[in-house]
């Protein structure tokens, strides 16, 4: 009986390539400075576009250390530290000693910053509603379920190499 293993591997390889291409398309759109400018404009807020993803990240993930935040946004620690200082100067975030390690300074969103991210969420909902206007509700629910499952899998510890000894 002929082996189907090569056919299966080829099919999975093609699927992973297609998934990677889709992710590149999504990340490319989300990383465009014009996209952040449009979101800030749509939200009716006044904020430098370089600070925008940091404020949202702090609100979603905070309290968060600057090193962790820098790693998540793909920027240098010193750059993120300066930008968080700007957010702090605007009264949008505060820094506090870390709960687990008092030497680590964590950023948290202030009520003023939360009001700003709430405006962004409202704008994001309007934009998202337009994107999904022609989708079936079940398709949107399935996309969200699968994206969460995928996000959980890629953020978990990397799988061990089956070829390497334990």
* String of DSSP letters for the chain: ----HHHHHHHHHHHHHHHHHHHHHHHHHHT-HHHHHHHHHHHT----TTTHHHHHHHHHH-SEEHHHHHHHHT--HHHHHHHHHHHHHTTSEEEEE-SS-TTSEEEEE-HHHHHHHHHHHHHHHHHHHHHTTTS-HHHHHHHHHHHHHHHHHHHSPPPPPTTS--
Extents of the domains making up the chain: 32-154
Q: What's the CATH number of domain 32-154, 1.10.10.10, 3.10.20.520, 3.30.1330.60, 1.10.520.10? A: 1.10.10.10
The whole-number pLDDT of residue 163 equals 53
Predicted confidence pLDDT, tens digits, the chain (166 residues) = 555 555 567 778 889 999 999 999 998 988 888 888 888 888 899 898 889 889 999 999 989 999 999 999 889 999 999 999 999 999 999 999 888 877 788 999 999 999 999 999 999 999 999 999 999 999 999 999 999 999 999 888 766 655 554 4
Euclidean distance between CA atoms 37 and 148, whole angstroms: 27
Global pTM reads 0.77
């Amino acid at each position: 009986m002929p082996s189907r293993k090569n056919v299966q591997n080829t099919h999975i390889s093609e699927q992973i390539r297609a998934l990677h291409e889709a992710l590149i398309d999504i990340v490319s759109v989300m990383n465009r400075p014009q996209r952040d400018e449009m979101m800030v404009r749509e939200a009716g807020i006044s904020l430098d576009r370089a600070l925008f993803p940091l404020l949202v990240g702090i609100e979603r993930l905070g309290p968060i250390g600057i090193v962790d935040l820098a790693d998540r946004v793909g920027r240098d620690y010193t750059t993120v530290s300066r930008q968080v200082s700007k957010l702090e100067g605007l009264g949008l975030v505060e820094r506090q000693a870390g709960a687990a390690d008092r030497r680590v300074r964590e950023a948290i969103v202030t009520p003023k910053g939360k009001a700003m991210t709430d405006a962004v969420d409202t704008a994001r909902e309007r934009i998202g509603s337009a994107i999904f206007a022609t989708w079936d509700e079940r398709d949107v629910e399935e996309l969200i379920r699968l994206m969460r499952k995928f996000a959980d899998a890629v953020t978990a510890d990397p799988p061990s190499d089956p070829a390497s000894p334990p």
